[in-house]
Amino acid sequence: MYEMTYIYPKSFFDGEIIPFSNANVSIASSAVLYGLSVYTVLPITVNTAGKFGFRLDAHFERLINSCQIIGLDRFAKDWDFARFKNALTEVVKANDLQKTVFARITIHGTELVPGTRAKGIEIKLSIFLYDANPIIPQTGARVKTSVWRRIPDYCIPSRAKVNGAYVNSVLAKQDALDSGFDDCIFLDAEGHVCELSAANIFLVKGNTLHTPDRSSDILEGINRDTLIQLAKELSLEVVERKIDLTELYTAKEVFACGTSAFVAPITEIDGRHIGNGSYPITEKLKASHEKILTGTSEDFPQFQTRLD
């Protein structure tokens, strides 16, 4: 059953810290009318050394790129990395964080009834913090192929994290839940594997990881990139290419990754059990990824940005 997510009381909106309940955009804004916003979600780790944001620079760059793709040009004009980091630091300081949380950062098109355009329209940045709960089971997810195909790059590019495009993910996830599964696998129009409703996908064959390439209508996930770098550290080969659905059926291991999916083994696809029930490579990657996220790894210290 769906459980309510706890949202922390202080948010950042329109340049200041305000109560979360007052941080609202207008019903006449392009954000509401057309889904014209872009967003990202990243973990804020709380440990004895302090509070840290994970791969802040990569998240900022993806927001900049998403706005560039859809034409929300005011974001790059009004915001730079230092201002972005300050806003996040302020909201982290304003809330009493005792454990790791997720920060959802959105650039909303806030202009009122501007018509269907993006350039020059007013934007506002919001940040709220909420509990870092996984969106799929962490010990073996059961998934199905989605009846809904991934929106192709020539309609709404997946590499732009545009809120309106997430109706595609909602359709796919709801179809999976209605059918008794944890999530689904999106295929493109030709039947190649893209990703899950809100996570990237890898398969394991021998000592090699395979994942859909950047031209496979995927979101270029920051954890996907982290795992590619991590796999190389662990002497695993990584191949980015087109992948057929039936390759997943015969893989030794399949796993999903993302901020809210973490690294999650996928143990059943379309009624088929994957591999032989043992997931050594996924488990190794999951453990290393967790250490990197929480800043307890010797590797990748550059991925942590201090926020207090």
Using CB under 6 A, list all residues that contact ligand PMP: 41, 169, 195, 198-200, 219, 221-224, 258-259
Q: Which is nearer to ligand PMP, 70 or 219 (CB)?
A: 219
Minimum distance from residue 12 beta carbon to ligand PMP (Å): 20
* H or E element that contains 255: strand 253-258
In the complex, least distance from residue 148 CB atom to ligand PMP, rounded to whole angstroms: 13
Nearest to 255 by CA among 188, 204, 191, 179: 204
Nearer to ligand PMP, 60 or 114 (CB): 60
Rounded to a whole number of angstroms, the minimum distance from the CB of residue 296 to ligand PMP is: 19
Residue 65 CA to residue 295 CA, distance in Å, equals: 27
Q: Which is nearer to ligand PMP, 71 or 134 (CB)?
A: 134
Q: Shortest Cβ distance from residue 161 to ligand PMP (Å)?
A: 7
3-state DSSP assignment of residue 78:
helix
74 vs 192, beta carbon nearer ligand PMP: 192
Which residue's CB is nearer to ligand PMP, number 72 or number 219?
A: 219
Strands lying side by side in the sheet with 304-306: 16-19, 10-13, 123-131, 101-109, 37-47, 50-54, 304-306
Determine the Cα angle at 251 with ends 245 and 254, to 5°.
85
Nearest Cα neighbor of 163 from 198, 130, 188, 133 is 198
Q: How far is the CB of 167 from ligand PMP (least distance, A)?
A: 12
Strand 208-212, strand 237-241: pairing: parallel
